[in-house]
Structure 1
């Protein structure tokens, strides 16, 4: 795909991680169609990322990591999403949960979770609740106090990679206020039959039931520092940007290999209407990528505007991914609608970002309010 130089770049000392991920992503792309059809978690790919040392490298230096930059994080997610969106989504949720637990837990728990990540254990977010929607950070699940902590009985929704998770970053309501905990999977955890989604099938996002899980007081997380930027929030836009870039790559491959018409010596890519469609959407994808990169840049500077910028970036990237995928379907026509075409899978995957909290309609209202009140 055509690219332009960005004002935001991965630090030179971290570039080798981009090379590692790029090499791995080529292999991930080879199984993306099969993984989508089967709807099974791409465990081998997730393991390959952990085995490369990438997961541990994002830990703070105080816990033996390299404290890799948010710019590197976003670039990793974008590369993974372009190759295999489900891998990118599950990996980002895993890293976001692990990093939050190491950063926000009391020192003994933080050290434990850091060692677990370095040992290759899996993490996942259990935040969304039935009917919770965009208010996933404001739990409606009250927990009863018991010796050593609180007792959780309830259900969480859309927990990506939950079946292989060893630990959850979850939230409940304690004394009427939101509270976050690190919780280790035990026999109080069960998984109802999965309601398979139409896109990003291989994330196996599903419900998790907690039946009497003890939330230990020693694993209750503190409130984040004012300058703390959650990994998922910062990198969410890059997930959709990667999908949008894969849509452009797919439509280019199709259009340059198909004749413009019966007996024509030109390809579909030579048609004026195709060039016109692709030209505008490419600029929009580039704009979404630049806004996402600005979010990472702000987070690396510990700028308090990073989180607001992340909402704007996600909102734009979600919609641009849907538009890029729709253009790919338009150019691909009936061929792009066939199961064997990557276009139909990319189109389904592109819808997911706009539905994930904060959803696009919810974000539009928030951002619109900022603009009107400024």
Structure 2
């Protein structure tokens, strides 16, 4: 281990300790963020101020070069407190670090410096007509003198209303191309966000009307060594929701007394909790293995991220459903966190790639009938 490695790991430990101090406040705001579909902007700004954004930026781009393993555990902890914070932070870093990497040879440190300065980033990749295939855009951009022009829409852009920069992809001559875009009057937020779950992400639909995609903001194609924070973080979001659902279940079961005995002492509850706890930890172990593979540069980590997301999505939903069963009718009440965890868990399954798409991809790999995404 080099001296630099030791410093980075010391920094990770310091940040993890700071996160433990921040999480109670984040968790205390989660219910209201959900109730009012309110962006957790204060929490996101606090994460930046404490150095979490800088830590995630690779060292060669001027950041701390934190490990995938550290990033993943931060995402999981954030998601247990407030999954909207975890989701927006994951997408913010995915877009910021992605743009810094893709444009490093053309713009130099422009986007890396913007991230370090506190600018907000958002992924504007998913199209209404492309489904989960967000890396294969169908909207063709038209060439103009200074670049290309986009007329179209991007959906589920988490944190878009506070974004200073967007990572946008389009088709140019049938091939994907990536651009950094600063929101202007040609980009309109379509206020559709009255969602069932993850309401605090405010993942709006953006409409582009003759938006200039500047040639000097165009990035190269992603390379195999590029940081994939979105892929790494998605399983952690669902695992954090599963943790929160199980925690709410345990709190209810220990406090609810039936015929003189706590609900937690009923055998069916004990058995069910043991099963779900074990499954959560099994998925966590699998996901941690994929994170370690990514840290080691093992290309197998990409398939590991896919499988971990599929497993985490399912265990989150099933654990939240168990919490509803244990909570009974009170779990349906707005005052209970159980109903929120169930809604958030369901949303995780729909985030690209959805469980259905991942099942198809993984099934083809196992059966030997795999085709390119």
Judge same fold: TM > 0.5, yes or no: yes
Paired residues for 1:234-273 under 5 Å: 234-259=232-257, 261-262=258-259, 264=260, 266-273=261-268
Say whether the 8 Å CA contact 1:167–1:185 is kept in structure 2: yes
Cα deviation, residue 225, structure 1: 2.1
Paired position in structure 1 for 2:41: 43
SS in 2 for 1:132: coil
Distance 2:137 2:187 in 1: 19
Paired position in structure 1 for 2:304: 309
Gaps of at least 5 residues in structure 1 are 1-9
Distance 1:340 1:131 in 2: 37
SS in 2 for 1:172: strand
Cα deviation, residue 13, structure 1: 4.5
Say whether the 8 Å CA contact 2:123–2:157 is kept in structure 1: yes
Paired residues for 1:313-352 under 5 Å: 313-352=308-347
SS in 2 for 1:196: coil
Cα deviation, residue 20, structure 1: 1.5
Paired residues for 1:55-204 under 5 Å: 55-204=53-202
Paired position in structure 1 for 2:5: none
Say whether the 8 Å CA contact 2:290–2:304 is kept in structure 1: yes
Gaps of at least 5 residues in structure 2 are 1-7
Q: How many residues align?
A: 362
Say whether the 8 Å CA contact 1:229–1:307 is kept in structure 2: no
Distance 2:334 2:123 in 1: 31
Cα deviation, residue 108, structure 1: 4.7
Runs (4 or more) in structure 1 with deviation over 4 Å come to 10-13
Say whether the 8 Å CA contact 1:101–1:110 is kept in structure 2: no
Cα deviation, residue 103, structure 1: 1.0
Q: Is 228-237 or 308-317 further displaced after alignment?
A: 228-237
Change over 3 Å in CA distance of 1:30–1:150 after alignment to 2: same
Give CA-to-partner distance per residue, 1:204-241, whole Å, 9 cap, x none. 01100111111111221112222334110012101100
Say whether the 8 Å CA contact 1:235–1:292 is kept in structure 2: no
Give the alignment's TM-score, normalised by structure 2.
0.94
Give CA-to-partner distance per residue, 1:138-175, whole Å, 9 cap, x none. 10111111112101111100100000001011100001
Question: CA RMSD, aligned part only?
Answer: 1.4
Give CA-to-partner distance per residue, 1:265-296, whole Å, 9 cap, x none. x2100000100111111111111111111111
